[in-house]
Amino acid sequence: MYKACIFDLDGTLTDTLDSLTFSVNETLKEMGLPPITRDECRMFVGNGAKVLLEKSLKASGEKNLARLDEAMQRYDRIFKTGCTYHVVPYDGIMELLSKLKPAGIRMAVLSNKPDRDALSVVEEIFGTDTFQWIQGQKEGVPRKPDPAAALDIARKLQADASETLYIGDSEVDIATGRAAGMKTIGVSWGFRGREALREAGAELIMDSPLEIFEFINDREVESHE
């Protein structure tokens, strides 16, 4: 029986690819560098803003990353206003959340997006009372795939790791959930797709949000048989 769900944000709950591509390319434009493509951005995300900018700078010809600090400062300013640019929940996500809450499933978000921006996106798209905990990348807290944050959130949700589902769309998410000892669900509708998730070792891959509710509901039925 599961008591809690921890969701990744970008590529899992929300389609943020336009927002990320826009903010990176505005940063590169200010620096006089060529833009990256949307598909490049799709493959660069997942490990936080610094890694996204490192990969984007290299793709734009800045191989030695001498201007990384400049890029970080510019991106931080741009993303403050661009973090919800064209951001929408994936089809079926709102319905999934509306079913999980009355079923007594406690929910949280864990993202490698900067904490301030993760909070801003979640509250603007989902309101302030959907999730019991929202956490982005914070100073002093190891970022995913380190399991420390996921385990701490499970404790905040009053659930053991064995009672918690970790749900995400990338290789980083699969590694995070497995390291935390949580049942981990890879979602195919996000930034990576089925093949990448399978190669990352995902044991469960789901193609629509409502499959997650059905999985939880089936475990609930089994526990009472």
Give yes or no: residues 187 and 135 share one domain.
Answer: yes
Give yes or no: residues 159 and 214 share one domain.
Answer: yes
Give yes or no: residues 72 and 108 share one domain.
Answer: no
Q: What pLDDT is stored for residue 165 in this prediction?
A: 98
Q: What pLDDT is stored for residue 224 in this prediction?
A: 47
Give yes or no: residues 95 and 51 share one domain.
Answer: no
Q: What pLDDT is stored for residue 221 in this prediction?
A: 47
- Mean pLDDT (10-residue bins), the chain, 225 residues: 96 94 96 96 90 97 96 93 87 97 96 92 95 96 96 98 97 97 97 94 96 89 51
CA–CA gap between residue 162 and residue 17 (Å, rounded): 32
Q: What pLDDT is stored for residue 220 in this prediction?
A: 66
CA–CA gap between residue 225 and residue 155 (Å, rounded): 28
Give yes or no: residues 107 and 135 share one domain.
Answer: yes
Give yes or no: residues 95 and 33 share one domain.
Answer: no
Nearest to 20 by CA among 112, 83, 77, 109: 83
Give yes or no: residues 103 and 177 share one domain.
Answer: yes
Of the three residues 82, 106, 134, the one that is the final residue of a domain is: 82
Contacts 24+ apart (CB under 8 A), 32-39: 33/57, 33/60, 33/61, 33/62, 34/60, 34/61, 35/60, 36/60
Instruction: Please state whether the predicted TM-score (pTM) of the whole model is above 0.85.
Output: yes
Q: Is 35 left (phi over 0), alpha (psi -120 to 50) or beta?
A: beta
Q: What pLDDT is stored for residue 47 in this prediction?
A: 85
8 is known as an active-site residue: yes
Q: What pLDDT is stored for residue 81 in this prediction?
A: 82
CA–CA gap between residue 94 and residue 133 (Å, rounded): 17
Q: What pLDDT is stored for residue 222 in this prediction?
A: 58
Give the residue numbers spanning the domain of 172.
4-15+87-223
Owner of token pair 């526990």: 223
**Number of independent structural domains in the chain:** 2
Give yes or no: residues 106 and 35 share one domain.
Answer: no
The residue type at 87: V
165: CATH: 3.40.50.1000
Give yes or no: residues 42 and 116 share one domain.
Answer: no
